[in-house]
């Protein structure tokens, strides 16, 4: 079957020095995996570019959207392969442009010549000149504009062949998934935590999730919403395992035994402890939260110090210095925003004190906590977990 060619460029992977082969191999795996739904799709590295071939009956948009979702991919271009003969290159470039002007309103263009293979007799500027001439002849509506063209056609002559392409569709960049350990995201149903998970995954971290609920104070619909969010994330990072824990028994103990204004903070401390236990059991080396400095009472600098102090594991907070509007934009970009804004109660808002402490003192919180059997509560919570596997 005839196949279409796509050129995939990697971003930072290329900068990795001695480890470059490792990163390249993982990225290749990830791209192959993203395209595994197509029979006969192939991908391989040749001199720093990844050449992906997919049967030509698969729509271009679909292939591109699958490739750009792979972390580590900087950009993708649908391309045409030509024999290393300047006349053939010119003929195929003209054909390529004819197709472009059929569907798009393009008046001006320029050709950019590249010659990685120095044994090719025609030099770069001359490639551009000759191919440009042949395109002009074939497409009467076009004229050349070297400064501000509607369309730039690149001809790249390489060792194994000549390649003609035009658009570069940007990927998310980052590093291939799985090249940077595994982290556990504390997943609420809000806007922030999915973005935090996405950002860490983009840096190559594999992700597991833990979700806390307070059923019957929260509803099953609230959990379904979280599953929808994770499903969206799974579109970038593959199947995600989510640990689901009912926090209500702990919240009940806190409400009964501790000062009201400290409730949220005490609950946060329990979440961190439980999350750390789950992380240790599942090979996660870090916790990840969607906290954002100063956003709510439990996210003030003082509060973060008090919540952090209950765990030994590093806690990653990729959104810590972002403004809410920017987080919201990011959530829209990755497709989680519209799910996040569905109005369901989550476990953090159920026992919301009227005036939560914003500048908690660690020793005071610890004193309040001494009324509780922390170890047993954490143990019971961890043991009660349910695990859901969420596929893309």
Partner 1 sequence: MVYLDNSATTRQYDEVTDLMYKVAKDDFGNPSSLHSLGFEAGNILYDARRQIEELLPPAGNVIFTSGGTEGDNMALLSSARKLRRRGKRIITTKVEHPAVLETCKRLKEDGFEVVFLDVDVDGYVEEQVVKAALDENTIIVSIMAVNNEVGTIEPVIPVGRTVREYNRKHGTDIMFHTDAVQAFGKLPLDDTDADLISASAHKFHGPKGMGFIYMKKRHSLPPYIIGGGQEGGFRSSTENTPGIAGMGLAAKMACSDLIMKTSRMGIVNNYLLNGLRAEIKDIMVNGPEELGYTLHEHGRRCPGVLNVSFEGTRGEVLLHTLEQDGIYVSTGSACSSNKTGDSHVLQAMSMTHKEIEGALRFSFSEFNTVEEMDYVIDRTKIAVERFRRLGSFR
Among 235, 259, 353, 392, contact with partner 1 (rule: CB under 8 A): 353
Q: 């806390």: which residue's tokens? A: 212
Neighbours of 48 (CB within 10 A): 13
Strands (E), the chain: 3-10, 42-46, 49-55, 73-82, 108-115, 143-144, 151-158, 161-165, 169-170, 182-186, 206-213, 240-246, 286-288, 315-316, 386-390
Please state the closest distance from residue 342 (CB atom) to partner 1, in A: 9
Residue 260 touches partner 1, criterion: CB under 8 A: yes
Neighbours of 312 (CB within 10 A): 8
**Residue 196 host element (H or E):** helix 192-202
Window of 146-154, 178-186, 225-233, 256-264 that interacts with partner 1 by CB under 8 A: 256-264
Query: Hey, which residues does 56 pair with through a beta bridge?
Result: none
Among 139, 152, 255, 311, contact with partner 1 (rule: CB under 8 A): 255
Neighbours of 159 (CB within 10 A): 12
CA distance 211 to 203: 22
Q: Is 275 within 8 Å of 304 (Cβ atoms)?
A: no
Site string for partner 1, 41-60 (x = CB under 8 A): --------------------
Query: Hey, which residues does 55 pair with through a beta bridge?
Result: 3
Please state the closest distance from residue 274 (CB atom) to partner 1, in A: 20
Please state the closest distance from residue 312 (CB atom) to partner 1, in A: 32
Window of 204-212, 301-309, 331-339, 352-360 that interacts with partner 1 by CB under 8 A: 352-360
Nearest CB to partner 1, comparing residues 95 and 228:
228
Window of 4-12, 42-50, 271-279, 347-355 that interacts with partner 1 by CB under 8 A: 347-355
Strands (E), 159-307: 161-165, 169-170, 182-186, 206-213, 240-246, 286-288
CA distance 275 to 245: 10
Among 95, 117, 228, 345, contact with partner 1 (rule: CB under 8 A): 345
Nearest CB to partner 1, comparing residues 188 and 251:
251
Please state the closest distance from residue 324 (CB atom) to partner 1, in A: 20
Residue 252 touches partner 1, criterion: CB under 8 A: yes
Enumerate the H helices of 118-187 as residue ranges: 124-138
Please state the closest distance from residue 23 (CB atom) to partner 1, in A: 46
Site string for partner 1, 202-241 (x = CB under 8 A): -------------xxxxx-x--------------------
For residue 90, how many C-alpha atoms fall within 13 Å in the half-sphere facing its CB? 17
Among 121, 325, 343, 363, contact with partner 1 (rule: CB under 8 A): 343
Tell me the pairing of strands 108-115 and 151-158.
parallel
Nearest CB to partner 1, comparing residues 65 and 219:
219
Residue 350 touches partner 1, criterion: CB under 8 A: yes
Among 301, 352, 371, 387, contact with partner 1 (rule: CB under 8 A): 352
Please state the closest distance from residue 245 (CB atom) to partner 1, in A: 17
What would the 3-class secondary structure string for 321-366 be? Answer: CCCHHHHHHHHHHHCCHHHHCCCCCCHHHHCCCCCCCCCCCHHHHH
Please state the closest distance from residue 255 (CB atom) to partner 1, in A: 6
Interacting residue ranges for partner 1, rule: CB under 8 A:
215-219, 221, 252, 255-256, 260, 263, 343, 345, 350-354
């Amino acid at each position: 079957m005839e196949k279409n060619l796509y050129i995939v460029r990697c971003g930072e992977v290329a900068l990795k020095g001695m480890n470059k082969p490792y990163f390249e191999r993982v990225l290749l795996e990830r791209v192959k995996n993203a395209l595994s739904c197509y029979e006969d799709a192939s991908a391989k590295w040749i001199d720093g570019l990844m050449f992906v071939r997919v049967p030509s009956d698969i729509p271009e948009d679909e292939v591109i959207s699958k490739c750009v979702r792979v972390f580590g991919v900087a950009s993708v271009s649908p391309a045409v392969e030509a024999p290393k003969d300047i006349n053939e290159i010119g003929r195929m470039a003209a054909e390529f442009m004819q197709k472009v002007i059929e569907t798009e309103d393009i008046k001006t263009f320029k050709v950019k010549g590249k010659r990685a293979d120095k044994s090719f007799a025609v030099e770069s500027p001359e490639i551009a000149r000759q191919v440009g001439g042949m395109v002009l002849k074939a497409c009467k509506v076009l004229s050349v504009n070297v400064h501000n063209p509607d369309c730039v056609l690149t001809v790249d002559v390489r060792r194994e062949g000549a390649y003609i392409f035009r658009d570069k569709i940007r990927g998310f960049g980052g590093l291939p998934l799985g090249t940077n350990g595994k982290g556990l995201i504390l997943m609420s149903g809000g806007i922030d935590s999915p973005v935090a998970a996405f950002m860490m995954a983009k840096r190559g971290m594999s992700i597991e999730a833990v979700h806390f609920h307070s059923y019957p104070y929260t509803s099953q619909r609230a959990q379904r919403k979280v599953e929808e969010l994770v499903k969206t994330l799974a579109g970038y990072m593959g199947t995600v395992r989510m640990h689901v824990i009912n926090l209500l028994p702990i919240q009940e103990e806190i409400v009964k035994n501790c000062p009201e204004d400290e409730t949220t903070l005490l609950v946060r401390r329990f979440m961190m402890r439980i999350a750390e236990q789950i992380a240790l059991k599942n090979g996660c080396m870090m916790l990840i939260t969607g906290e954002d400095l100063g956003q709510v009472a439990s996210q003030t600098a003082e509060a973060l110090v008090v919540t952090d102090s209950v765990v030994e594991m590093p806690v990653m907070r990729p959104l810590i210095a972002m403004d809410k509007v920017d987080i919201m934009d990011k959530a829209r970009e990755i497709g989680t925003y519209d799910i996040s804004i569905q109005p369901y109660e989550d476990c953090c808002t159920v026992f919301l004190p009227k005036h939560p402490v914003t500048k908690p003192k660690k020793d005071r919180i610890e004193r309040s906590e001494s009324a509780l059997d922390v170890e047993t509560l954490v143990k019971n919570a961890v043991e009660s977990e349910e695990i859901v596997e969420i596929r893309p």
